[in-house]
Chain A
């Protein structure tokens, strides 16, 4: 599979000119593409650069299909995820990889970037009615901000509504248990699997 933006755009327009079924597009086109992209990332044939291009192609194509659909046929996302690298931490490669892959897999993702204050994460989650908060921390001294987000959600009375999954170089299953997060992931795949499991989707 090649990542050719012009060809993707041309093909999208050709399909739109036919009597297309959006569910079939998602099932036989985008889902398959997401799987192949994932396999290439797993085998280290694709890296962050390719994921950025793939996500742009898929988003652009899907948005174009949706723009010509009647409102009653609009596609539902698999869930809303707020993702961020925690306060004080400027390392965001792992977070970026998960962010791109979640988008490719059909989640609505609000990527708040790196070094994000905990209250900003919580506010955004409450404002968007997010299902999941995904927090990355590479440094040992920034991990406590993952706990801080969970504590804030609890104090605001939203802990039951919003699941919190964590990852990043300094984190571990033990840390997950310590702060009572809803899941720890070592890899991008773990993150996607956790998000899908939380939402009960494939």
Chain B
């Protein structure tokens, strides 16, 4: 059942009429002091010895701090330099009217996502995602087919088309719009070829601007309302009119909106403040971005990942706070430092999936690799490892304390390599492009790392 948008015209007006403030003053005199205040007032402290905490009162404090931060700071509109402010009652109204589930995809491929609780025995949803990796037109369909044929995938994200028809798909150029159309068309073709024509697809990454996003909406060849359409939060607690235009278009055409939320550890705050920002950003997603669900990818500003000790603490605590205090549906989007066909990326994916699933994430949204920046350096194997390990942790009925112990045993295998991780191999080096089968080498690495997780108490179903 879809969530209604929250008073959409009132939100539009607030971006034009809210208190005027320069961005520098918003950052320096509003946002940063308020982050510091709530971290201190709610006494939130990171403990490196407990990367997966089991303290329910800490999760409650993180939620309350996030609500306090959102209400005291609001959201800054960079297009008008105005703060959009919300009241406690308005937030409660939006949270109370939030739905119990959402449906994505069509026909036989329709899937339902629902909110989960901490240590919930029900399985989370699975979204297989090469996120924003650049890809050639030559390999685009094969790469997307490889992701779509994964049985666990409820839906897939798709890579970015780097070139189309002889031009870079540069944002705001006509090649962006052309690239967006080809991206959507090719993604739909891939879904048909693997026999999942109604599968929910994240569209359209190549089209960054609102104009090109809107142009790629088409019920026959392009993005459908049943697909995954995304509107990002500008880090931290910001929005602009181009993003609001996207949200308006998606809502008016009956699409589910996913809010892309990426608090940056090391930018405005330390790990505790960034965790609180994560909650506040989810609330921005609900009230401003008009999101039905969230794709949550907190990032370490230097390593561009969320698989290190403090980032796993942040991920776990965020989901515990969300799961025990709201019905917000949020997908935990992994970001790994290492690249495909390495043991390190298998460890990173496994831990991220496991921590997210047991902490209460509604969806495992796995996983960007090689810092999400190297051409075609992504494969479905990393998502498979993240989702299988997360689902198996749930099936194994692991508690947070069990997961904490496993994390403490696995983390030392890669913690010292975060600044110099192996980039691994490209999709073409890892997969047979005709059969779309992974290489023997990669299957052996995957098998070896799974065996290690098994030794630590994960009972894989297969």
Contact = CB atoms under 8 A, between A and B. Distances in A.
Verify that A and B bind, or say they do not.
yes
B169 A141 contact: yes
A88 interface: yes
B266 A142 contact: no
A169 B373 contact: yes
Contact of A53 (B28, B206, B208): B28
A91 B176 CA distance: 18
Interface string A103-143: 00000000000100000000000000000000000011110
Contacts of B24: 52
A172 B304 CA distance: 13
B302 interface: yes
B99 interface: no
A90 B160 contact: no
Given A52-B24, A52-B28, A140-B160, A170 B171 contact: no
A48 B242 CA distance: 25
A29 interface: no
A47 interface: yes
B209 interface: yes
A141 B266 contact: no
Given A88-B209, A90-B234, A142 B171 contact: yes
B171 A139 contact: yes
Given A90-B234, A145-B170, A171-B373, A140 B268 contact: no
A183 interface: no
Given A44-B266, A90-B240, A144-B168, A49 B302 contact: no
A177 to B, nearest CB: 12
Contacts of A94: 301
Interface centre among A47, A97, A171 (most CB of B within 10 A): A47
B443 interface: no
A43 to B, nearest CB: 11
B28 A148 contact: no
Contacts of B371: 169
B234 to A, nearest CB: 6
B253 interface: no
Given A91-B235, A140-B132, A141-B206, A172 B374 contact: yes
Contact of A91 (B28, B134, B234, B373): B234
Interface in A152-166: none
B267 A141 contact: no
B264 interface: yes
B395 interface: no
Contacts of B169: 141, 144
Interface in B142-197: 160, 162, 168-172, 176, 179
B270 A44 contact: yes
B264 to A, nearest CB: 6
A47 B268 contact: yes
A87 interface: yes
A174 interface: yes
Contacts of B28: 49, 52-53
Contacts of B270: 44, 47
10 contacts: A47-B267, A48-B32, A49-B32, A87-B170, A88-B209, A90-B234, A90-B240, A139-B208, A140-B162, A144-B168
Interface of A: 44, 47-49, 52-53, 87-91, 93-94, 97, 114, 139-142, 144-145, 147-148, 169-172, 174, 186-187
